[in-house]
Amino acid sequence: MGQIVTNKTQRKTIIHKGLRPEIKILAQNDDGGFFYETKLDINPDHKFNGDYKISIQAYEKNGIALPPKDMGTVGEPSDLSRVFVRDIHIDRVLFRLRVYDQKNILRGLADKISLDDESNENKKKLKHQATSDTWLLVKETNNISVPFQVEMEEDELPVLLLKAGLNLKEKFKNNIIVKTLIYTAVIKEILINYLTNMEFNNDSIKPDFINKIILNSGNKLDVPDKKDVLDEEGRFTEQGQNWIDEAVSACINKTIDINGSKVSLMKQFSTSINKEEEIRDEDEN
């Protein structure tokens, strides 16, 4: 059962930014996840009782929240080391620190704690490494009402959200028809956002993503100019639409090595569709 903490007014704000943060969290990337450790220094000016308990919780914005980890009491705090997280990407993790009394009344809180600057530098390196091979994070969620959706935030890798309970993550990985249809729609939506949404004008991921698309085309595509994508009234131009169609086509027609065979996603898709048609014809006969 999850921990229930009563929220009362007059709780103290625990500082996690600035010159004297009371909690710092460092992380190190690892295969399949990341490790984190804490550095806790609760300010005595809060005048918390020594028996107040401390916990920390890793969570993802608009996503899952992991069970809280015990960090001892204010009188006997206990830092954590090498806690492994698999279910949340290091690029999207946040933390919540709670101080609460024996009746589970919340006495102190620090929320939306990001990784320390040292870890954030590692995150930036990881982002650029990721865009060279893995440009899209995939996760299942109950927070969408459609089969799939793209989530994008400035300076974050795009996330493909798949509705939980439909086994779409497995199908996206192994069913070439499902993969191609979703992949095509996702690339198109991401490119439209990057090229037309002002929020992504200075996005740090955007140049690597578009360069990857251009490489997929065999350098046949150029980086599109803003004025060629949007007209003076901010409407998407026919030239911009054509560029995106060519970019999507380049991605799904790029030849890749799959189980020792050189083949494109589009070719696999066509083969699978034809097999479906043959099976349907045989069933009808």
Q: Let me know: does 172 contact 179? Beta carbons within 8 Å.
A: yes
CA distance 21 to 95: 14
Report the predicted TM-score, pTM, of the whole model to 2 decimal places.
0.56
Query: Hey, which of 121-135, 190-204, 226-240 has the most confident mean pLDDT?
Result: 190-204
CA distance 179 to 269: 9
What was the pLDDT predicted at 107?
Answer: 94
Nearest to 11 by CA among 52, 56, 40, 41: 52
DSSP string, 34-97: EEEEEEE---GGG---TT-EEEEEEEETTS-BPPPEEEEESSSB----SEEE-SS-TTTEEEEE
The SS3 of residue 32 is coil
Nearest to 213 by CA among 174, 245, 180: 245
Is the domain spanning 12-122 CATH 2.60.40? The answer is yes
What was the pLDDT predicted at 129?
Answer: 47
Q: Let me know: does 71 contact 41? Beta carbons within 8 Å.
A: no
Pairing of strands 159-163, 137-141: parallel
What was the pLDDT predicted at 283?
Answer: 56
9 has pLDDT over 70 = no
Among 56-65, 225-234, 263-272, whose mean pLDDT is lowest? 225-234
Give residue 141's identity as a one-letter amino acid code.
T
pLDDT, tens only, 18-29: 778 999 999 988
Every domain of the chain and the residues it spans: 12-122, 131-275
Kindly state the DSSP code that residue 205 receives in the 8-state scheme.
S
Among 16-30, 123-137, 160-174, whose mean pLDDT is lowest? 123-137
Distant-in-sequence, close-in-space partners of 27: CB < 8 Å, separation ≥ 6: 34, 35, 36, 37, 90, 93, 115, 119, 122, 123
Scan for tokens 């804490």, then name that residue: 38
Residue 282's pLDDT band (cuts 50, 70, 90):
low
